[in-house]
């Protein structure tokens, strides 16, 4: 998201990246109604539900939700996180289609297991190459019968 910054009379645009670390929990509507809109009770109930949700998740899922720099983490409670592009990130979308390589830093992060694979448009991330497959490579993979 562009942000205007001022320094010594000039204006320049900075790109700021944010990670949404908020949490949510599902609460039975009948249970919520029984709390009589008492804010302390509602907060306590939500906190307990969130904590129980966290403890039900494998710790590995919470740790592994780190993505390559252009990608946005989307944690999933049934599997590892998914690394996707935000709607307005053209560079990320080009990477998803195999038109751009990931940075060396991101490739090292993925190979080292600190970052999850990016979600690619045309198949699985090619870790030996450092990019997503292109549309033509997807077709070749299916016709040759080889897999990644």
pLDDT score for 93: 95
H helices of the chain, in order, are: 29-33, 39-56, 59-63, 90-96, 104-111, 135-144
pLDDT score for 4: 58
Domain boundaries, given as residue ranges, for the chain: 1-56, 59-148
pLDDT in tens, 99-131: 999 999 999 999 998 898 999 999 999 999 999
Residue ranges for the chain with pLDDT beneath 70: 1-8, 16-64, 75-80, 139-148
Nearest to residue 125, comparing CAs of 94, 98, 146?
A: 98
How far CA 89 is from CA of 42, 71, 92, 132, in Å, comes to 38, 9, 5, 16
pLDDT score for 121: 94
């Amino acid at each position: 998201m562009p942000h205007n910054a001022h320094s010594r009379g000039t204006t320049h645009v900075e790109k700021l990246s944010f990670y949404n670390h908020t949490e949510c929990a599902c609460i039975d509507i009948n249970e919520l109604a029984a709390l009589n809109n008492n804010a302390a009770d509602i907060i306590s109930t939500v906190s307990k539900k969130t904590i129980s949700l966290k403890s039900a998740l494998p710790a590995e899922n919470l740790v592994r939700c780190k993505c390559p720099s252009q990608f946005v983490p989307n944690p999933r409670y049934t599997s590892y996180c998914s690394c996707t592009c935000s709607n307005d990130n053209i560079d990320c979308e080009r990477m998803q289609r195999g038109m751009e390589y990931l940075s060396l830093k991101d490739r090292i992060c993925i190979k080292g297991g600190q970052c999850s694979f990016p979600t690619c448009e045309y198949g699985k991330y090619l870790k030996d190459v450092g990019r997503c497959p292109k549309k033509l490579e997807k077709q070749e993979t299916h016709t040759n019968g080889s897999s990644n």
